[in-house]
């Protein structure tokens, strides 16, 4: 029996996951359904276990997804040229989509296999794992009903649902029985408040230089502030209002605006201008931008088109943000904080105009630095797991990790 404690930010672009004491893991939010298990090219068990999350192929049996079957998950699916599935950012709803289930079940099963192999030194044929998980969905989609619906897709209505995942490790297979003991789904944007309070000093360096002549600022500064959060993701932009440590969920809203929409528009134009009529998805287009050395032929054109497309998104986000500040939040926020992947992509188009607006309404802008921007929700969920949601389970996971580290050293 193994246990996993997960902070799982199921993004439209990437699933970002933190486990106690572990580094952040990012899994592309894509999968591909297979008619049969792919051919095996590597039979070294240890290599396959180490690279399992990058080469993830699983068979999932679960009443919570539309069709049981064999799936490539995440990076392995990205290597496929066609027929990969990603999140529908135009009409989709995360609590109903199968992708959060398929990718999370695949991840949890793979991590269970890795833990079992590390402890036992061999691959078990069958292994059982209990999972404790916090997550979040967009404010525009979050209600008590939708949150409960997604939670129960993992746990079952009576908390006894079992998902069976066969993980293919080279030419071997491990059957993982997963039971989600506890799942909490909150609104995207709200967990980030806790990441800010726990943030390191360099998170606030620009804020300090802009408003306090470089005076030392820590997360404690924001504990009692009224704050408007602009969480600019791939498929949505969340507008969250908090007073001190208290979110005000009734006035929190979200728009279907973000990097993914800019990418979708850019992708259409890229296909037209490049002559590429293949089944290329958002994540594959983004990969061209993020890895120019591997995409020399297409990089310059892709970058140029994306820069054109993102201007319109940035303008809409700014307009809606100003409206939310004055109307939804009644001009109360003292701080406007901006984070998420879109805060990186849209900074050049948004920052100066937002500062100008904030000056006019006597507020201040906290623009989260790039190194932290895309991790705010998952790091906030991790803080909540450790200090509020799962204190005992979190501490137990840390102790187990420390014991394993000592055993390896000996």
- What tens digit of pLDDT does each residue of 11-51 get? 988 999 999 999 999 999 999 999 999 999 999 999 999 99
Residue 302 lies in a domain: no
Q: Is residue 299 part of a domain?
A: no
CA 228 to chain centre: 21
pLDDT > 90: percent of the chain: 74
Domain assignment of residue 154, yes or no: yes
Residue 197 belongs to a domain: yes
Average pLDDT for the chain: 93
Report pTM. 0.90
Range of the domain at 216: 190-258+310-373
Residues 141 and 254 placed together within one structural domain of the fold: no
Q: Same structural domain for residues 354 and 221?
A: yes
User: What CATH number is associated with residue 253?
Assistant: 3.30.420.40
Same domain, 204 and 138: no
Residue 405 lies in a domain: yes
| Domain-embedded: residue 283 | no
Co-location of 212 and 111 in the same domain: no
- DSSP code, position 340: S
* Reported confidence tier of residue 410, pLDDT bands at 50, 70, 90: very low
What does the alpha-carbon distance between residue 312 and residue 320 come to, in Å, rounded to a whole number? Answer: 12
Tell me how many domains the chain contains: 2
CA 169 centroid distance within chain: 25
Residue 330 counted as domain residue:
yes
pLDDT at 406: 52
What H or E segment, with its residue span, contains residue 246? strand 246-247
- Same domain, yes or no, for 335 and 323? yes
> Do residues 356 and 402 share a domain?
no
HSE, side-chain direction, 13 A CA sphere, residue 281: 22
The verdict on 112 and 7 lying in the same domain is yes
244 and 337 housed in the same domain? yes
Residue 407: the pLDDT is: 52
What's the mean pLDDT in 386-399?
Answer: 96
Task: Flag whether 203 is in a domain.
Answer: yes
Taking Cα atoms as reference points, which of 371, 373, 384 lies closest to residue 20?
384
Distance from C-alpha of 5 to C-alpha of 131, rounded to nearest angstrom: 6
Closest C-alpha among 359, 334, 91 to residue 221: 334
User: Is 36 in the same domain as 114?
Assistant: yes
Provide the 3-class DSSP secondary structure of residue 355: helix
Same domain membership, residue 208 and residue 81: no
The reply to whether 197 and 219 lie within a common domain is yes
Q: In terms of residues, how long is the chain?
A: 410
Which range has the worst mean pLDDT, 33-42, 141-150, 265-274?
265-274
Read off the CATH number of the domain in which 91 is found: 3.30.420
pLDDT in tens, 240-262: 999 998 888 889 888 999 988 98
Residues 98 and 45 in one domain: yes
DSSP code of residue 41:
-
């Amino acid at each position: 029996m193994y246990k996993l404690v997960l902070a799982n930010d199921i993004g439209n672009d990437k699933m970002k996951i933190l486990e106690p004491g572990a580094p952040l893991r990012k899994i592309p939010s894509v999968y591909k359904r297979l008619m049969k298990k792919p051919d095996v090219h590597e039979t070294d068990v240890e290599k396959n276990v180490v690279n399992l999350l990058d080469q993830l192929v699983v068979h999932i049996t679960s009443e919570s997804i539309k069709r049981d079957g064999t799936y490539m998950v995440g990076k392995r699916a990205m290597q496929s040229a066609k027929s990969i599935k990603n999140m529908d950012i135009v009409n989709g709803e995360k609590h109903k989509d199968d992708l959060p289930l398929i990718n999370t079940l695949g991840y949890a099963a793979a991590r269970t296999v890795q833990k079992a192999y590390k402890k036992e030194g061999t691959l078990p044929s069958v292994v059982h794992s209990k999972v404790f998980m916090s997550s979040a969905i967009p404010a525009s989609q979050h209600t008590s009903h939708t949150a409960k619906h997604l939670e129960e897709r993992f746990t079952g209505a009576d908390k006894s649902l079992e998902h069976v995942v066969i993980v293919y490790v080279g030419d071997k297979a491990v059957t993982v029985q997963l039971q989600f003991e506890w799942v909490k789904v909150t609104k995207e944007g709200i967990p980030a408040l806790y990441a800010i309070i726990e943030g390191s000093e360099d998170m606030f360096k620009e804020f300090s230089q802009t408003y306090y002549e470089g005076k030392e600022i820590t997360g404690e500064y924001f504990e009692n502030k009224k704050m408007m959060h602009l969480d600019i993701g791939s498929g949505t932009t969340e507008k969250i209002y908090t007073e001190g440590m208290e979110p005000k969920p009734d006035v929190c809203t979200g728009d279907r605006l973000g990097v993914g929409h800019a990418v979708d528009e850019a992708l259409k134009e890229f296909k037209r201008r490049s002559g590429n009529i293949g089944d290329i998805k958002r994540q594959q287009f983004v990969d061209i931008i993020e890895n120019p050395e591997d995409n020399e032929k297409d990089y310059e054109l892709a970058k140029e088109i994306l820069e054109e497309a993102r201007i319109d998104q940035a303008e809409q986000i700014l307009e809606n943000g100003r409206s939310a500040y004055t109307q939804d939040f009644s001009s109360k926020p003292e701080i406007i904080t901006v984070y998420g992947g879109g805060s990186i992509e849209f900074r050049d188009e948004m920052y100066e105009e937002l500062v100008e607006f904030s000056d006019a309404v006597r507020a201040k802008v906290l623009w989260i630095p790039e190194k932290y921007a895309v991790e705010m929700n998952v790091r906030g969920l991790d803080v909540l797991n450790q200090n509020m949601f799962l204190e005992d389970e979190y501490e137990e996971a840390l102790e187990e990790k420390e014991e394993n580290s000592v055993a390896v050293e000996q």
